[in-house]
């Protein structure tokens, strides 16, 4: 069973919410989002979301290729995996992570208290 998560991106005015199907735990997602924030040069939300999907898929491909090589696994199904895993979330779900594309910050939900905490990392 996968650990999914909801990631919202905001520019302070508009918000777009995305879905990550697996590896949605904070220890994986937060470093990935921080790396994305440093890599992404666009602050407009539309381009940022397109860049997020490209970046996330690329990172997943790199990770799975390394894992399959380390474990001597067959990559014949990789094209199928490349087509799943991310999407726009059209329902009104509370996000697990919020990325502010203007401030270049990541905020995560404190799962125990139901509150959002700023990770204190500004990635400018």
- 7: which strand partners? 18, 97
Q: In what order do the strands lie in the sheet with 15-20?
A: 86-88, 15-20, 5-10, 97-100, 105-110, 115-122
Residue found by looking up tokens 């397109």 in the block: 50
Query: pLDDT tens digits for 16-60?
Result: 999 998 888 888 888 999 999 999 988 889 999 999 999 998 888
Query: pLDDT tens digits for 78-101?
Result: 665 666 678 888 888 888 889 988
Beta strands in 5-122 (DSSP E): 5-10, 15-20, 86-88, 97-100, 105-110, 115-122
What is the reported pLDDT for 83?
63
Contact residues for 121 (Cβ-Cβ < 8 A; gap 6+): 34, 105, 106
């Amino acid at each position: 069973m996968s650990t999914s998560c909801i990631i919202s991106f905001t520019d302070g005015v508009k918000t777009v919410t995305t879905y990550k199907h697996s590896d949605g735990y904070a220890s994986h997602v937060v470093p990935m989002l921080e790396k994305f924030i440093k890599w992404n040069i666009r602050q407009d939300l539309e381009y940022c979301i397109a860049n997020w999907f490209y970046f996330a898929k690329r990172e997943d491909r790199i990770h799975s290729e390394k894992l399959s090589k380390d474990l001597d696994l067959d990559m014949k199904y990789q094209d199928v995996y490349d087509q799943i895993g991310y999407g726009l979330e059209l329902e009104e779900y509370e996000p697990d992570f919020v990325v502010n594309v203007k401030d270049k910050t990541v905020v995560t939900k404190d799962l125990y208290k139901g509150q959002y905490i700023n990770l204190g990392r500004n990635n400018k």
